[in-house]
Every structure is written in structure tokens, then in C-alpha cells.
Amino acid sequence: MLFIHHPTLANAHTPRAVTIGNFDGVHIGHAAILDELVAHANAHGLTPTVVTFAPNPKAFFAKQRGKPEPKRILPLRDKINLFAQHGIEQVVILPFNQALANMPAHEFVEYILCACLNTQHLRVGDDFKFGAGRTGDFELLRDLSNRHHYSLTAHHSIVHHSEHSSERVSSTAIRHALHNGEPHTAAALLGHSYTLSGHVIYGQQLGRTIGIPTINLKMPEQLAAQGVYAVSITLNGKTHQGVASIGTRPSVKTNGQCWLEVFVFDFNESVYGDIACVTLQHKIRDEEKFEDMPTLLAAINDDITQARSYFSQTN
């Protein structure tokens, strides 16, 4: 997959089929857009391309206004991996800053989509808004398509039907499920397991001193899933069970960095530098600050007991 970190770095001679959005979580609604985009691209000799943003525009504006930023569902690497699984060949990551926020909607189309990316087909959600003041919408895209000769398709929202209710699939609904400690509900809306991945790195080695060594992954700040979970973890092609803590480790000084720490059951291998994929199965409790090491150790041992019990009941 080709990453393009500025639209001017794209080969403007490459004809592209493009979709635009944050795609946080890459849920079943996003997947439908991606699959249809790739199918159209393959049928017309175009390069399927996603245009996304870093940071999330909602986070950018929230920070400006001094309001809480929306929680992130997935780290960027997991979002990119899911794009690739759906056949996307190029990802344009636009740095969302004040200049981009001030860009008029028609200029975004004419400069970024047409001049830089040579967009021949554009597929967006029917509620897509863009440009300064969010003045750009599907109607504007349709008007400009005649001038710039790209085809355009709107994708409608998808409704997920469960045993007890029906709801529109959205990143907001997934964040709500994760906030409520319901990873299986989140997975149903995502259309895939809720899995976080990253390189295993050296931590503070605290777990080893108390007989509970952990695998450590750095996570982005404002991650939607926080707390202690029973998890499955894949390392070097093999899947294991364990218990994980996601958060800022309030009982340990970490300067606010979000970590994913996993104690892998019956495992004693060195995997530093390897990629670990951690799937959340069941939430045990929220993250807590403990007053001393004995209290922390007792809580961890109880977490391990609960996680083992969960897996013994589900196997």
C-alpha cells in the first residue's frame, strides 16, 4: 500500500477512485463504501484511494474550543491494515490544521481531489460535509462533477439489527459500546473483532518484579477502550489467552501515556519488536489507582482469576 502524506506528492497522472472520511474503526458502513469503491475502481482501471485526516477534524475543533476530544476507536496502523484488507491501494493522510479547516469546499474539490489526485470517481456517505464551515455537501460535489468530469455516488447509512433493537451503524455507537464495556457489541457494529495491534516494546519491567511479566504496546491518547479485559493475543501466528490493562496506569508514573499491557497465560518467550494483535473479549473492570503495591498485586491476581474463569466458561 502507498501512503501519501501530502496531496502534492501524489502522482497526478494516476486516475483514482476516491472516498473521503475519518473511517474511525472501519465499521460495516465504512466497509461497504470501501468494497464498492474497489469494485468500481477495478472495473474502470482506477486506483482505489482513501483520503483521511490526522488528527480527526472533530478532535482538532474540540481542542480549539477547550472541549473533550472524541475517543479514538483504533490506532492509525489498525485502520490502515483494515483498508488494505478491503483492497485499498493508496491512502492520502491530510494533516488537519487551520489552513485545511479554512479551505473553501470548492477549492478542496478543485485542488486536492482534482488537480492533485486526479479523481475520476468519488464515493462518499450521503451525510458527508467538508470545507470551511462544513459548507460542502453532496449537492456541491454533484454540481462540481459536471465541471471536473468525475462520477459521483452517495452511500446510505447502514442499520444494524440485533435481537432487541436496531440502530444506525456509526463510530459514535461503537464508542458508546466500548465506553459501556461491551466489546462484543462493538464488534457486531464493526463487522470484525475489536483488535488493537502494535510492536512489543520495553516497559518499566515492573511486572517482572512481582512475578507477572507483561507485553507492552503503546496506544494513542484518547483511546475509546479503557480498563481491564480478558483478551486473546496473537503473536507470531499463535493465539494465546490473557488479561490486559488499557489506560494511563494511574498506579504507576507514566506521564499520561496510554499503554496496552498484556499478561499472557502460560507464556514465557521474548517477543520484543514483534507485532502483537490483542482482541478484547470481556471487560472485567475499569482502570483504578491503588494506594500501594500489595493492593495493586491483589487486584491483578483477581483480574487473572476472573479472566481465566471467563475463558473456562466460553471454551
Q: What are 167-210's pLDDT values in tens digits?
A: 788 999 999 999 999 999 999 999 999 999 999 998 765 656 66
- What is the rounded distance in angstroms from the CA atom of residue 172 to the CA atom of residue 257? 24
Show Cβ contacts of residue 33 under 8 Å, excluding neighbours closer than 6 positions. Answer: 19, 21, 123, 124, 125, 155
Residue 1: per-residue pLDDT: 85
Mean pLDDT across the chain, nearest whole number? 91
What pLDDT, in 10s, does the model give residues 287-311?
A: 988 888 888 899 999 999 999 999 9
Residue 125: per-residue pLDDT: 87
Please tell me the least confidently modeled range out of 4-18, 139-153, 157-171, 234-248: 157-171
In the chain, % of residues over pLDDT 70: 95
Residue 23: per-residue pLDDT: 94
Residue 183: per-residue pLDDT: 96
Residue 168: per-residue pLDDT: 84
In the chain, % of residues over pLDDT 90: 74
What is the model's pTM? 0.89
Show Cβ contacts of residue 226 under 8 Å, excluding neighbours closer than 6 positions. Answer: 246, 247, 286, 287
Residue 253: per-residue pLDDT: 61
Residue 204: per-residue pLDDT: 62
